[in-house]
Chains A and B, each alone.
Chain A
């Protein structure tokens, strides 16, 4: 079982680059511990800025630093970053096109029993609705590293959501087959796709596990790891959805405006067929660890298998 959380990989990648690139600046809002960025703050104090518990100032400052040539990585809990500073993201980062990479840590329901104030189940919908900004939800530590390396090379704003906990690997080290803004395609035979599963972030792994079991039962599954929620890899969706009997989307997000809504739009317009959206409920979630919450709502391998089998029966 992997013990390295995606947030930790982000810190490692930034520390490696900061050795030679003095324009990299990391900002936190009293969140360096939660973001696993304490080693960065200690190792590169001259490239680290503490904003205190002030997310609007955090993002505004980030935009100002970026405007003056800094490569800014701004890390704060996804719940606060995506909504408390929403307008700064919209105006100061996206509209003004500043090179700010917003890292939403402890995303989705990572904070479990802390309640809805700490959950970010609407960040995909919120940020994706803003022009000029991209939205990424990497699935595992290896993909997170590839994504961070790609983001260090561009100068446009982006929002990256990662969870709090270490998640099991989807990919093998050195074999991620990462292409920027192209979904990862996971399946035994790309030519055979009875059901297309589209997922992002922590929901990719249970999809891959479910696909394995279903393939053993003779149901041909393709999983699209849609870490690039925006820009959505429409080409991949159309390619596989066209072959499939139905599409199932799985995400750690509200049922409205997230990956499921986006995939449904594409399928409805390009290759109409049934799309089932698996998501969190439109309600404050039940109290528990994120694992317990996922299990309760069927956002696990068993729940995905069950949904696929039901879809095929209808």
Chain B
């Protein structure tokens, strides 16, 4: 069995390479969301490059679309895409690898980028599964800043109204958005209480800990009659103290020196994971 904790740091390196080459990208959120995507694509979702069109596949919507670089890295690691091509062309003239998910790319279901869209779309997908008696599950990942969008709460209402226990949403709760702390920009207060009040099964975990994430996703599968929300408490920029928990790393492109340090930090985290 592949060491996924180590893998997550390897994939972070791909993301940084992409961002260095393309001179753009939302690095902070890419780092916070990485374990969530690794867990989904390596251990949870029933989808492979061969089954991207299967009506029985599990579906994923990257609602926090600006962190597409992390999704590209994970999709490439699972054989959907070619990482070298992505690193070479990401964000460049004429590239299909733009700065937000695009469903012309194999493995990407929906175009996103504007925040607050993923949950209503995922609700529709889960509803379709119920209507057609399909066993597939639907996943979406939102940013915590994104949760200020009203459409998220519209989706929260319909998700519980229609008892969509085949739907699991995740909030990448890194507590920072472009202007600073989420609690200073638009306070969320208690997300577990809010989602519970909206009729969801809410689980709060360390979102950079694959074991905790794994347990939460497995728990979600056992919940009946309501959708599950996983509040994944993460660290923005996770993996290197150069960028950890710093709002200005929302979409900063590292300098060559910073990148060297970041790669060293990833390597030591990877080593530690391998020696666990």
Contact = CB atoms under 8 A, between A and B. Distances in A.
Interface of A: 25, 46-47, 49, 51-52, 54, 56-57, 59-70, 87-88, 91-92, 95-97
A218 B122 CA distance: 60
Contacts of A87: 114, 117
Interface in B183-201: none
A25 B131 CA distance: 10
Most buried by B among A51, A54, A59, A64: A64
B197 to A, nearest CB: 17
B158 A51 contact: yes
A91 B157 contact: no
A187 B116 CA distance: 50
Contacts of B155: 57, 60-61
A53 to B, nearest CB: 9
A60 B114 contact: no
Interface of B: 55, 59, 61, 103, 109-114, 116-117, 119-129, 131-132, 134, 150-151, 154-155, 157-158, 161-162
A91 B125 contact: no
B123 A61 contact: yes
A65 B154 contact: no
B112 A54 contact: no
Q: Does more than half of chain A's interface fall in helix, strand or loop, or is it mixed?
A: helix
A57 B103 contact: no
Given A64-B128, A66-B124, 14 more contacts: A25-B128, A51-B158, A56-B151, A57-B123, A57-B154, A60-B155, A61-B158, A63-B110, A65-B127, A67-B109, A68-B55, A69-B128, A88-B117, A91-B113
A66 B123 CA distance: 12
B42 to A, nearest CB: 24
Contacts of B162: 49
Nearest to B156: A57
B136 to A, nearest CB: 8
B132 A61 contact: no
A155 to B, nearest CB: 14
A64 B122 contact: yes
Given A46-B131, A70-B131, A65 B125 contact: yes
A54 B152 CA distance: 11
A69 B185 CA distance: 39
Contacts of B124: 60-68
Nearest to B126: A64
B132 A68 contact: yes
A57 B120 contact: yes
A69 B53 CA distance: 11
A67 B125 contact: yes
Nearest to B119: A60
